[in-house]
Amino acid sequence: MTVFNVIFSEAAARVRDSLPDDRRELLQRGLAIVSTDPHTKISSPISGDENTRSLALTHSMAIEYVISDGLLIVLVVHIVDTSQVLFENED
């Protein structure tokens, strides 16, 4: 099994470093899984070459990343604050 080395863009590293410890742990746990299967079926390609992808790690945290030469490069870490929303879920 190939495990990809994970590196961060400067912007993604800033978001990572600003997270509280519990959220940072979730990010690291998710990346540990993704680094063994970066083309996981729940990730979505966001470019024509299939190597730039998007993946929701939790309901409020997502990443965009590139797979290249044994690296998983995290480009963006998206954090969604769901404590205040415009519309509540309607069932």
What pLDDT is attached to residue 90?
Answer: 64
Per-residue pLDDT tens listing for the chain (91 residues): 789 999 999 999 999 999 999 999 999 999 999 999 999 999 999 988 899 999 999 999 999 999 999 999 999 999 998 888 888 776 5
Strand-strand pairing, 71-79 and 5-8: parallel
- DSSP string across the chain: ---PEEEE-HHHHHHHHHS-HHHHHHHHHHHHHHTT-TT-TTSEE-STTS-EEEEEEETTEEEEEEEETTEEEEEEEEE--TTS-SS----
| List of domains in the chain | 5-79 (3.30.2310.20)
Exposed / middle / buried, residue 25 (Cβ in 10 Å: 0-12, 13-18, 19+): exposed
Per-residue model confidence (pLDDT) at position 89:
72
